[in-house]
Amino acid sequence: MNGSRRLSLIILAAVLVVFVVSWILHTTGFQGDGAGTWLSVRDGFLVTLAAFLTLAIFSFLYKDNPYYKFAEHLFVGVSAAYWMCVGFWSTFVGNFIPRVSHTLSDFFQVPYKGFNVFYFVPLILGIMLLLRLSSKVGWISRWALAFIVGTTAGLNLIRYLRTDFITQVSNTFVPLLVDWKGIGPFFSDLSLSASGQFMLTLSNWVIFIGVFSGLIYFFFSKEHKGLFGTASRVGIWVLMITFGASFGYTVMGRVSLLVGRLTFLFQDWLGLIN
Amino acid sequence: MKHKLLIGCCLLLLPLLAPAWAQEAPVADTTTDSTAAMQAPAPVTDLTARDKENDHGHGIVLEWTPSVDDDGGLNNVFGYVIQRAESPDGPFEERGRVPIGAGGYDDIGSKERESDGFMPDYVDYYYLVRTLTVDEAVYTDSDIIGPVQSYGQWFNTGRIPVLFFVIGFMILTMYFITKARGGAKLFVRRLAGIEAVDEAIGRATEMGKPILYVLGLGTASDIATIASFTILGRVAKKVAEYQTGLIVPCYDPIVMTVAQETVRTSYMDAGRPDSYSDDMVYFVTQSQFAYVAAVNGTMLRELPATNIYMGKFFAESLILAETGALAGSIQISGTDEIAQIPFFVVACDYTLIGEELYAASAYLGREPVLLGSLKAQDYAKAAVIILAVIGFITINFDWGGFKQLFQVLD
């Protein structure tokens, strides 16, 4: 037995020992009505398993290893099965059966909502999609796919045109000077508060210049040279500053997720935090 | 000094004595208030009811002139109760309450038959408005109005600006597609990220390593995913020509179906149909982070030379890009998810930002439909710039009518 294999076995043995010890400690330390019953055994196992899988995933930060592979494959398999069950119970049983069959509704214990023949349309489209698995009649699935893509594109055209286009164009019509009463009052009442005249005026300028130059950056029919190129450069600067702010904001959210996981490990599993 | 101190203490103590006085005073006032509360207020007048416009039905709009005793006269109105029945003889049920001063109410029901608030269309409804006082036993009912029916409209007049823009954009798109099909050369400027794709494929071929192509977490109907299919087709054709490996893990089963069709067609176009295998394009799972875990594992095991991320991405974008960087792959990304672009910008070698992804599919595919659409978008952008400048000028010279043209009502 070579060294690396021996080391792997030692690590595996250590992991198993820690797992069993943690399970026992959580079972015996269970406080509540279920103490000493299978409930405490179950909860002890689940907490230990969750901690083990968390650390297995974290081990990826070092390098790929069998524990990460185990956690990854378990996660993929369980999630695929879970979403299949959710899809069956929420879509098929929750939406389709209550509208086509009283008998099946009673069998699945869901309230019958009345027969609606239109619900056979998605059923037929779904079957057409599944025909993809057959090499002979797989071409039928393209029709169902065309319907899905075409309908969604048509609906989204109106939605995006309204929210991302017309509304945004309208919001670009901003006054150059907000509540302008003259240079004297402007400087005498100068304030950096968000609702102050100076900040509102500045934000209007940023909105207009940012939208104008950003649109120029995304103009693909002309080379970005000369004055056009300069405006495009301003546009990409505006974009990058926005992305930087978004990056910082999102990273804070991700750190909070990490804090949540570490809290689970140190509080729920190790009990080091009260 | 002592006198001043005494007067000051008396003044300070005055408010403490005031409640005692106040308790005595209201004896006469209570009598007066209760007398006023016993009088019923005047009813509302000019009550009208009509179908709610620009909706899918199940809604009636009521308007009235408030009671003369609302903020005037007896001044004893507390609010209004709207009641409805399906017959002028009742029974009337309460539909809603509005405070004093209100002159209207929208009676909106549910369109779901099994819902408690279901309000069927084409049914005669009768309404009355009850003017309430503080004592709910004292009230006055208006005249009963009806019958009125609710029904849906086929055309929402509040969205006429959307119609104009849709028609305008469609005309532009059809014009440029026709022009492109006629053989006209439509110029599209250079996109650095796309030009790097060919270089990246060549690198993978030289290193003898596969290319990993990630379509993202969108569905087959998302625009970013559709654009990604075109780029995948181009990449697959090159990969087939160079006999390089291709790995396409998919999040969505329908996306997998389309991707398999795309890659198979590309291999056939390259004259290598026998090299294609369905195992190249496979479904992983529809769970976000389980998918990411699997793709990360693939990256560190297969060690692809090139990672291409094109499509819709969410929180997993940085995990994918950082792992790819760890594996030493050259990375090209493109997404229209604004929140994820920063992560791709910092972790990938080339990034297509937003609409550049859509332009890339036209740039690579060179299909008349795609090129024509891209040109139409560009001219639409030019129109937006002009409209923005006009709007900016009009708003600053207080010519407010122009902005009203862009108001879209719900």
ipTM: 0.80
**C-alpha separations of A148 from A129, B36, B255 in Å:** 10, 66, 12
Domain endpoint, select from A37, A63, A89: A63
Optimal mutation site among B160, B165, B284, B390, interface A, most CBs of chain A within 10 A: B165
And the tokens for A250?
């999102």
Residue B251 to residue B273: CA distance in whole angstroms: 25
The SS3 call for residue A174 is coil
Of A52, A26, A51, the closest CA to residue A39 belongs to A26
Half-sphere exposure of A48 (CA within 13 A, CB side): 21
Is the separation of the CB atoms in A19 and A50 below 8 Å? no
Chain A residues whose CB is inside 8 A of the B113 CB are 113-114
Task: Flag residues of chain A having pLDDT under 50.
Answer: none
**C-alpha separations of B247 from A8, B279, B295, B345, B348 in Å:** 30, 8, 10, 23, 19
- Quick one: DSSP state of residue A173? -
Q: How far is A195 from chain B (nearest CA, A)?
A: 19
- Residue B267 or residue B159, greater confidence: B267
Residue B189 forms contact with A (CB below 8 Å): yes
Residue A132 located in a structural domain? no
Q: How far is B343 from chain A (nearest CA, A)?
A: 7
- Residue B188 or residue A90, greater confidence: A90
* Chain-chain contact of A169 with B381 (C-beta, under 8 angstroms): no
Beta bridge partners of A85: none
Query: Is the N-terminal amide bond of B15 cis, ω within 30° of 0?
Result: no
Q: How many CB pairs under 8 A join A and B?
A: 168
Chain A residues whose CB is inside 8 A of the B395 CB are 173-175
Chain A residues whose CB is inside 8 A of the B287 CB are 75-76, 79-80, 82-83
* Chain-chain contact of B159 with A162 (C-beta, under 8 angstroms): yes
The confidence score (pLDDT) of residue B19 equals 40
Domain endpoint, select from A32, A63, A94: A63
DSSP assignment of B138-157 equals: SEEE---EEEE-----S--G
Burial class (CB in 10 A: 0-12, 13-18, 19+), B249: buried
Residue A99 located in a structural domain? no
The total of structural domains in chain A comes to 2
- Nearest residue in B to A143, CA atom: B258
- What's the pLDDT tens digit per position in B166-182? 898 899 999 999 998 88
- Nearest residue in A to B343, CA atom: A247
Residue A52 to residue A46: CA distance in whole angstroms: 10
Residue A212 to residue B392: CA distance in whole angstroms: 11
**Residues of the domain holding A15:** 3-63
Closest partner CB to B403 (pick from A79, A173, A220): A173
Give the start-end residues of each E strand in B313-405.
Answer: 330-335, 350-353
Average pLDDT of B176-201? 86
Q: How many helices (H) and strands (E) does chain A have?
A: 10, 0
Domains and CATH numbers, chain B: 45-148 (2.60.40.10), 157-178+372-404 (no CATH), 186-366 (3.40.50)
Is the separation of the CB atoms in B213 and B232 below 8 Å? yes
- Nearest residue in A to B283, CA atom: A80
- Nearest residue in B to A152, CA atom: B221
And the tokens for B246?
């291709």
The confidence score (pLDDT) of residue B341 equals 93
Mean pLDDT (chain B) is 86
Residue B233 to residue B252: CA distance in whole angstroms: 18
Is the separation of the CB atoms in B359 and B191 below 8 Å? yes
Question: 3-state DSSP: chain A helix, strand, coil percent, rounded to 5?
Answer: 75, 0, 25
pLDDT tier for residue B248 given thresholds of 50, 70 and 90:
very high
- What's the pLDDT tens digit per position in B26-52? 444 444 444 444 688 999 999 999 999
Q: Which amino acid is at B257?
A: T
Is the separation of the CB atoms in B391 and B403 below 8 Å? yes
Residue A82 located in a structural domain? no
Is the separation of the CB atoms in B304 and B246 below 8 Å? no
State the CB neighbour count (10 A cutoff) for residue B143: 11
Is the separation of the CB atoms in B355 and B381 below 8 Å? no
Closest partner CB to B221 (pick from A78, A149, A218): A149
Optimal mutation site among A127, A141, A170, interface B, most CBs of chain B within 10 A: A170
Residue A48 to residue A36: CA distance in whole angstroms: 17
* Chain-chain contact of A250 with B356 (C-beta, under 8 angstroms): no
Residue A181 located in a structural domain? yes
Global pTM reads: 0.76
The confidence score (pLDDT) of residue B325 equals 92
B363-393 exposure pattern, b = at least 16 Cβ within 10 A, e = fewer: bbbeebebbbbbbbbbbbbeebbebbeebbe
Residue A16 located in a structural domain? yes
Residue B118 forms contact with A (CB below 8 Å): no
* Chain-chain contact of A173 with B353 (C-beta, under 8 angstroms): no
Closest partner CB to A64 (pick from B189, B301, B343): B301
Burial class (CB in 10 A: 0-12, 13-18, 19+), B22: exposed
Residue A216 located in a structural domain? yes
Closest partner CB to A141 (pick from B159, B257, B341): B257
The SS3 call for residue B107 is strand
Residue A144 located in a structural domain? no
Residues 319-348 of B with CB under 8 A from A: 338-339, 341-343, 345-346
**β pairing state of B330-335 and B93-99:** unpaired
Average pLDDT of B380-390? 87
Residue B267 to residue B286: CA distance in whole angstroms: 27
Q: Which amino acid is at A132?
A: R
Residue B329 to residue B203: CA distance in whole angstroms: 10
- What's the pLDDT tens digit per position in B360-370? 888 887 788 88
The confidence score (pLDDT) of residue B389 equals 84
* Chain-chain contact of B408 with A64 (C-beta, under 8 angstroms): no
- Quick one: DSSP state of residue B110? B
SS (H, E, C) B28-88: HHHHHHHHHHHCCCCCCEEEEEEECCCCCCCEEEEEEECCCCCCCCCCCCCEEEEEEECCC
The confidence score (pLDDT) of residue B298 equals 93
- Nearest residue in A to B405, CA atom: A170
The confidence score (pLDDT) of residue B16 equals 43
The confidence score (pLDDT) of residue B6 equals 53
The confidence score (pLDDT) of residue B33 equals 46
